[in-house]
Structure 1
Amino acid sequence: MKSNVVAGLVALGLFAAPALAAPEAYVLDASHSQVVFSYNHLGYSTTYGMFSGFEGDVTFDSEDPAASSVNVSMPLSSMITGWEERFGHFMSPDFFGAKGDELVTFSSTSIEVTGENTALITGDLTLNGVTKAVVLNAKLNQAGTHPMAQKPWAGFDATATILRSDFNVGAFAPYVSDEVALQISIEAMKAE
């Protein structure tokens, strides 16, 4: 089960920001960005996992937010399952058949601004060597000067649902749900 998008997620400030002459570059704050994934296990429980410490960048065009872009990547090995045996099973041939250094990536292809602080971010999620379009329902939480770093900062949340079978990791479906819910929360800082 994984998460993409991860990612994917940020659509930095692509909502409401003061007009600027040129697009601005932002980078993810890896220490305050994560993707939480969850799925139903045999109808008995909801199981959770997380990706954290990933990398990404955003180009934000405040004059035309729909022209902004986001790119995120994380190594599969950064997945946290809360149980070592589960992580090992996910890396086995039953699921990823992976060493762990493989990358999960999300790259936006379009942004549809839906409100003052909301947007739908469509992008290509690459997971397990398969690339599929995913739509993130994104919300700008806050944008402004970071009180400690004293530079422009923004925070976003996003959600999406993917089918793990779309990425060739559908073992045990439908008993273990094919649908994986993603909750993404990220912070990004203006690039130097």
Structure 2
Amino acid sequence: MLDQNDALINVWTQFEKICFSDCYARTPTTELLSMTSTSTGWSIDPAHTHISFSVSHLGLTHTPGIFRRFEACLDFNDSRIEASRVSFEIDVASIDTAFEMRDEHLRGPDWFNAKEHPNIVFTSAEVRHIEGIHYAIDGELTIRGVSHPVTFEVALTGQTVNPWTQSPLIGFTARATVSRSAYGMGAFASALGDAVELRLETEIVHTAPVQAQ
């Protein structure tokens, strides 16, 4: 007979295997529409990847939001991170600020204009090592058909082995600040800050078998 802990571990093992085997796992927060990785064997874990943003409201609080659907292409070099490349494409219509009326407005022509410009696209150009666990990813961010250079400040948050699948994992956080007016979204300047913080939290998983030492 399995005790309660053993049963829970079995459930989580099956869940993790499903997530890592097809890269199409759905969660309450995000959905990875497609994932392209190279022969290095590293892929983005959709169950533990979130793309979010926040903007100041009246100088009092910051209104947060997430994008629930995105596609990603990862070429990760674990022996020389500076040689890595990444790109992602966000489905604008998947925006979620926990207030549907606001979300519909954000999808409209005053803001993202999702009908004319359904995707936000970032493509890396260079990865730089700053010091220690800190890196920078320089690239181009396109919103509403307008492209500007953007630099994400990246921190390697840790490395471990998934206790259920025995797959190596690496965690990263990435942040960048962009001007919304630079992308044609300057409405309500007296109420909303122009600076928007973008944040990406991700775990990447190595799906290739671990070589014996």
Q: What range is the shorter-chain TM-score in? A: 0.7 to 0.9
TM-score with structure 1 setting the length: 0.79
In structure 2, the residue matched to 1:128 is 144
Task: Identify the match of residue 59 of structure 1 among 75, 79, 84.
Answer: 75
CA RMSD in angstroms comes to: 2.2
In structure 2, the residue matched to 1:45 is 61
Task: Identify the match of residue 31 of structure 1 among 47, 56, 69.
Answer: 47
In structure 1, the residue matched to 2:124 is 108
> Per-residue displacement from partner, 1:120-168 (whole Å, max 9, x unpaired)?
1111112221121111110111223222222222111111111011111
Assess, with a 3 A threshold, how the Cα gap between structure 1 residues 130 and 89 changes in structure 2: closer, same or farther. Answer: same
More helix by share: 2
In structure 2, the residue matched to 1:4 is none
Deviation for aligned residue 1:80: 0.9
Higher relative contact order structure (alpha carbons within 8 Å, sequence separation ≥ 6): 1
Q: Aligned pair count?
A: 171
Q: Is the 8 A contact 1:30 1:54 kept in 2?
A: no
Deviation for aligned residue 1:104: 1.5
> Per-residue displacement from partner, 1:102-133 (whole Å, max 9, x unpaired)?
12121110111012311011111122211211
Identity %: 32
Deviation for aligned residue 1:190: 2.5
Q: Is the 8 A contact 1:113 1:119 kept in 2?
A: yes
| Equivalent-residue separation in structure 2 for 1:29 and 1:184 (angstroms) | 13
| Equivalent-residue separation in structure 2 for 1:106 and 1:57 (angstroms) | 10
85-94 or 40-49, larger mean C-alpha shift: 40-49
Whichever residue aligns with residue 89 of structure 1, its letter is H
TM-score with structure 2 setting the length: 0.72
In structure 2, the residue matched to 1:98 is 114
| Equivalent-residue separation in structure 2 for 1:126 and 1:90 (angstroms) | 17
User: Could you list the runs of 5+ residues in structure 2 that have no partner in the other structure?
Assistant: 1-37, 209-213
Whether 1:82 and 2:73 are equivalent positions in the alignment is no
Assess, with a 3 A threshold, how the Cα gap between structure 1 residues 169 and 87 changes in structure 2: closer, same or farther. Answer: same
Assess, with a 3 A threshold, how the Cα gap between structure 1 residues 29 and 173 changes in structure 2: closer, same or farther. Answer: same
In structure 1, the residue matched to 2:200 is 184
* Structure 1 segments (4+ residues) deviating >6 Å: none
1:88 partner SS: helix
Assess, with a 3 A threshold, how the Cα gap between structure 1 residues 188 and 100 changes in structure 2: closer, same or farther. Answer: farther
